[in-house]
Structure 1
């Protein structure tokens, strides 16, 4: 089976994507797969590079990778790919839309404002929301362009930074929620062990805490039964409501015994420091086996979609 590991892309998360791709290649079973690295930094390059693949293993993050764009291109070409489909990828990449859906489904998520241009800038609205706030790109990832703002003095510069980092020129101003940060990885509809996150030197789980060695302590946590059930219910509601499939990671803050969902990642990081492989390992699933299951489940999803399409015609 020819497995193309698609990495690179055009987003600010280019380097993270390369690290994910390299780690995937290191753990793919060469007895099962012919592994083909597919690195690109211009969308036009990709069409030729993916020809002949049996499956595209997506190691992409950010715009043109995690937002449904490449998923749609691969579907047009008839090439199976790993992870969620076009709709889920697009919805989860847009934090504002995904939070609106979660609110509708009764899932807790911090209050927020969404600004689509500097014309929307309103210190008064942020004052009503309540400081401190997290200013972040609406469609970004890896905490790039994200900043904690404690008062109006730092608001404007943080907003400019977030706008610069967002490919869609849209940002969130989200009420800061103090509490324990956890993450729930989901594989083929099953919630893996919950990981608790404590940043070593940062106030919150920023880029350095995520990717620098020793930047954060990430360990399996055993929550009280009722809280554990609430967390699992919130994570699965997100997964289903946003039409995710195969695998995803739901990032949550626990505050006063209540889970607040921050975001859903349809292509979570897969570097050696990443949370999904750690959660899988805690469930007794090796990195190699994790990739096997992602590929197998994705191919099953692809066949089912083809079957539905043929039946509909």
Structure 2
């Protein structure tokens, strides 16, 4: 089976359904590319541990969130020298935490909104203190969830108490973050270069889970109106992120742009890859078809030797 690819999808995170869509799209591409593969819907980490990874030429991770994206499965594959798509175990762990991501990329001159991190086991920080630090409206979100799950925009003490409780339910810490009003931009990075940015339009006040998945007015389109200075800043930030985290093949970064400055919101090390996802749309703008994108990821399996995982 060494000529085969093992495609993993599903998982048990809050992003399971998105992972199943990604997996189905990747399956279609592998069939079209005539690449032999097996596909497994893994419901839990226990099932992952029993898979015969070493029988395959590599593993394509169509997982999102949880053990599929937080560095757990990446560390397993690194330990047995099996190639896989996406960031290393160490970089995956860092990027799963929005707070740790900020700490790393700020050293590489990447701008991010101001924030206060609160461990879930701690009491909520005083609302008045947060207003003094972050402004009268700010974002409250789980530190380690994707797809805007559990994210709230608060402007009162009552809203904050409920938002904090909702975010703390995920038990990985809560990030209270400065709310920057501006244009939402998402940018893919593929094999050494940034893809054309996409601007996200939505009907809600901010890009919440509801705006992403329930509103018919949320759309993605080419961000052709970005000033040259902003475009160059974003490209520099994408390059800095790739270097800081040693990500060789692909990731997606979300920014908010205000007054020509781009502020990094988060990094997605295994972005959605269904045909409606923003990452493939960015590749299409660069004249890279979906199948060519998948083929490129597989033919350039990143090497993740444990000794080379230092993050600056």
Query: Normalising by structure 1, what TM-score?
Result: 0.91
Does residue 112 of structure 2 align to residue 109 of structure 1?
yes
Match of 2:13 in 1: 11
Question: CA distance change for structure 1 residues 20 and 50 in 2, over 3 Å: closer, same or farther?
Answer: farther
Is the CA contact (8 Å cut-off) linking 1:12 and 1:165 kept in structure 2? no
Match of 2:242 in 1: 239
- 2:67 is paired with a residue whose SS is coil
Does residue 67 of structure 2 align to residue 67 of structure 1?
no
Distance 1:50 1:15 in 2: 25
Can you give the 5+ residue segments of structure 2 that lack an aligned partner in the other structure? none
Is the CA contact (8 Å cut-off) linking 2:22 and 2:272 kept in structure 1? yes
- 1:49 is paired with a residue whose SS is coil
Distance 1:203 1:28 in 2: 39
Give how far 1:273 is off. 2.0
Match of 1:154 among 156, 159, 164: 159
- 1:181 is paired with a residue whose SS is strand
1:195-227, Cα deviation, whole Å (9 max, x unpaired):
11111x222222233335734121111222122
Match of 1:214 among 213, 216, 224: 216
Is the CA contact (8 Å cut-off) linking 2:188 and 2:194 kept in structure 1? yes
Greater shift after overlay, 47-56 or 87-96?
47-56
Is the CA contact (8 Å cut-off) linking 1:195 and 1:221 kept in structure 2? yes
Distance 2:159 2:19 in 1: 31
Query: Normalising by structure 2, what TM-score?
Result: 0.91
Does residue 180 of structure 2 align to residue 180 of structure 1?
no
Root mean square deviation of aligned Cα: 1.9
Does residue 131 of structure 2 align to residue 131 of structure 1?
no
Is the CA contact (8 Å cut-off) linking 2:183 and 2:256 kept in structure 1? yes
Match of 1:142 among 137, 143, 147: 147
Q: Which 4+ runs in 1 deviate beyond 6 A?
A: none
Can you give the 5+ residue segments of structure 1 that lack an aligned partner in the other structure? none
Is the CA contact (8 Å cut-off) linking 1:213 and 1:273 kept in structure 2? no
